[in-house]
Amino acid sequence: MTRQPSGGTGTIRQLLERAAAGERRALGRLLSLVEQGGDVADEIAEMVHGQASSQAHSQAAVIGITGAPGTGKSTLVGHLVDGMTSSGARPAVLAVDPSSPLTGGAILGDRIRMDGVAGGRAFIRSMATRGHAGGLALAVPAALRLFEACGYGPLVVETVGVGQVEVDVTRTADTTVVMVAPGMGDAVQANKAGLLEVADVLVVNKADRPGADDARRDLEHMLDLGRITGQTQHWRPEIIMTTATTGAGADQVHQAVRTHRAHLADTGRLEARRQSRIHQEVLDRITRHLDTAASQYLSTQPDELTEALKGHKTPATAAAEISKHLLSNQPP
Amino acid sequence: MTRQPSGGTGTIRQLLERAAAGERRALGRLLSLVEQGGDVADEIAEMVHGQASSQAHSQAAVIGITGAPGTGKSTLVGHLVDGMTSSGARPAVLAVDPSSPLTGGAILGDRIRMDGVAGGRAFIRSMATRGHAGGLALAVPAALRLFEACGYGPLVVETVGVGQVEVDVTRTADTTVVMVAPGMGDAVQANKAGLLEVADVLVVNKADRPGADDARRDLEHMLDLGRITGQTQHWRPEIIMTTATTGAGADQVHQAVRTHRAHLADTGRLEARRQSRIHQEVLDRITRHLDTAASQYLSTQPDELTEALKGHKTPATAAAEISKHLLSNQPP
């Protein structure tokens, strides 16, 4: 493996040892490298993999939390993390949400409180939604494995539930919590955004506001109609009413998450989800390789591209011809 | 070209003729087919291309409007469309925003008003953000070409500015308007979400609210620091204060868009942007072909995948091996 200006194999191994021993700054540095992507991120992944293989498989729970902006995700995550640390766990949070107050957003009170938590047993980290080499799809699982290798768990991924990439990030969690709030990002809008189809647990936040009961009824109705199937058949997502600002309902959310995970484990589906997570990551990484090959080929200004730019061919025809050229015709 | 159950070549040609003659239902049907993607969508694209080649090149302006949810995009678009129709144009709007009131969202008053507009010279259409074969990246340019072939212009694409795919959709517009609002999706958050780097015109909406001047100052400051470069060098995005609920400032936004487009035309960059739009579409279509090939190969359960699922290989190693196998080694 080639040495990188940012470290080299020896330095990364040292960082990993220090992070595994509990040094927060070393973990922070590794997460930055993972977020940047590329060869160094791959090198870290290889080392974490080697280390994990020599340990007992820890199987930290992965919990996705998503919903429209303003539904109160970060505030609820704060209460969940409080509950987890109180019961002796070492949760880690990855906030893939440009507006998350967990990591420097709008709500100062929350930020201070979360800084207090972060100074203790929990680890909170934000990840930009843009600018990754290879994209969020690669950086998120790599960061989660790093957290797990350093003894953290449960692992919470908070994403804003707008945008296909962002919703897909939660698709591979063990349990996905979808939040709606009366008026803002309500049940109907969440359904349109494709959020409800990934829900294992449903939360109606701002339960004290007008319209909360309507939102709950809408969700019940969609469940009755079979429009929310969850990620797992034979599982009807529980609907929990919360008031994230006071923390009311947060314990029930945590309990519902544990109940769902126990259900997955009992039915053998936990392992199936983990396999599907690896399958998806292999596919995402192949996509990155193929995209690179396509961009490189286009940069040679092939005739098919020139014809499309001149309007002599449609983009569809040019793309079909170039794809045929790029792909190997060997049988699998 | 294979015949499809949904129509066949003859039917599509008829639909296209009726849509070009001004029949709104025929255009709506074609847009649905384009949105579904696949062979029928490609067939429509080929026919539109053939038709466009035989006509004078109309070059409708393409305007992207983006910003965080709740900044007032749809309301401003409504005023822009009003202004355009008053001056004799036939604008078309593609709202790629699950919460857009333009096409059935939250704000009833706006919906009624827009229905009124839509009954006249303008054409308003929503597009789901999920569930496309091939994704938004293919459906949006195809829909725009269809609008243009039917005599519509300017073409307005409204997207919610959260999520990489959604921001990228506006990247290929002639002019991209980025909206911020005090507090909600303000300048700093817009910058984090990668919105400012695509801005040709900046709008601070809710100019009557506290914090609007701060938002403006933040944007000016970022411009001074060179942190907003726009899509074009040597272009400093104008900052316009609006109150979308009353329509105040909408005319200035329209004027700023025209000024920007004239700048592009004068400097020869309009054609460059159009070429880059075609280049991007060719790349997006190649990506779709390559992704299909990758998924098909993975479905054969190759050894590399099995090894990764068993934990004997990292996803990175498995993906590198499979990519090597899939790609042709012929020199370009």
Name B204's bridge partners.
B180, B241
What's the pLDDT tens digit per position in A296-317?
A: 999 999 999 999 999 898 888 9
Rounded to the nearest 10°, the torsion over CA A193, A197, A199, A200 is 180
pLDDT in tens, A197-231: 788 999 999 999 888 999 999 898 888 876 555 54
Give the DSSP per-residue string, B10-62.
Answer: HHHHHHHHHHHTT-HHHHHHHHHHHHH-HHHHHHHHHHHHHHHHTS------E
Q: What pLDDT, on a 0 to 100 scale, did the predictor assign at position B65?
A: 92
- What pLDDT shows up at residue B329? 62
Give every residue of chain B whose pLDDT is below 50, as ranges: 1-5, 54-56, 103-119, 131-133, 231, 330-332
Looking at residue A42, what is its pLDDT? 86
Mean pLDDT for all residues in chain A: 81
Quote the pLDDT of residue B165.
63
pLDDT tens, residue by residue, A236-294: 899 999 998 899 999 999 999 999 999 999 998 888 888 888 898 899 889 889 989 99
Are B203 and B133 spatial neighbours (Cβ–Cβ below 8 Å)? no
Interface of A with B in 300-329 (CB under 8 A): 300, 302, 304-305, 308-309, 311, 314-320, 322-323, 325-329
B240 DSSP β-pair partners:
B203
pLDDT at residue B45, rounded to an integer? 87
Whether A80 has a pLDDT exceeding 50, the answer reads yes
For testing the chain A interface, which of B279, B282, B296, B300 should be mutated: the one with the most A CBs within 10 Å?
Answer: B282
The 10s digit of each residue's pLDDT in A115-172 is 444 446 899 888 876 544 456 778 888 899 999 999 999 999 998 766 666 667 776 7
Q: Is the pLDDT assigned to residue A17 strictly greater than 60?
A: yes
Contact B209, B223 (CB under 8 A): no
For position B182, what pLDDT does the model report?
A: 86
How big is chain B, counted in residues? Answer: 332
**Residue in B49, B163, B320 nearest the CB of A166:** B163
Tell if the CB–CB gap between A328 and B327 is shorter than 8 Å. yes
CA atoms of B59 and A306, how far apart (whole Å): 20
Region class of B91: left (phi > 0), else alpha (psi between -120 and 50), else beta: beta
Which one, of B129, B165, B139, lies nearest residue B42 by Cα?
A: B139
pLDDT of residue B323: 95
Q: ipTM of this predicted complex?
A: 0.79
**Cβ–Cβ contact A265 with B under 8 A:** no
CA dist., res. B149 & res. B151, Å (int): 5
**pLDDT level of residue A2 (50, 70, 90 thresholds):** very low
Contact A283 B298 (CB under 8 A): yes
Please give the backbone phi and psi of residue A23, each rounded to the nearest 5 degrees, phi first: -80, 115
B residues 116-135 near A, CB within 8 Å?
Answer: 128-131, 135
Which residue, A23, A48, A24, A43, is CA-closest to A33? A43
Sheet holding A62-67, edge to edge: A123-126, A92-96, A155-160, A62-67, A175-180, A201-204, A238-241
DSSP string, A43-69: HHHHHHHHHHHTS------EEEEEEST
Contact with chain B for residue A192, Cβ under 8 A: yes
Q: Assess contact for A170 and A66: CB atoms under 8 A.
A: yes
Residues of A in contact with B291 (CB under 8 A): 287, 290
> What is the distance in angstroms between the Cα of A86 and the nearest Cα belonging to chain B?
32
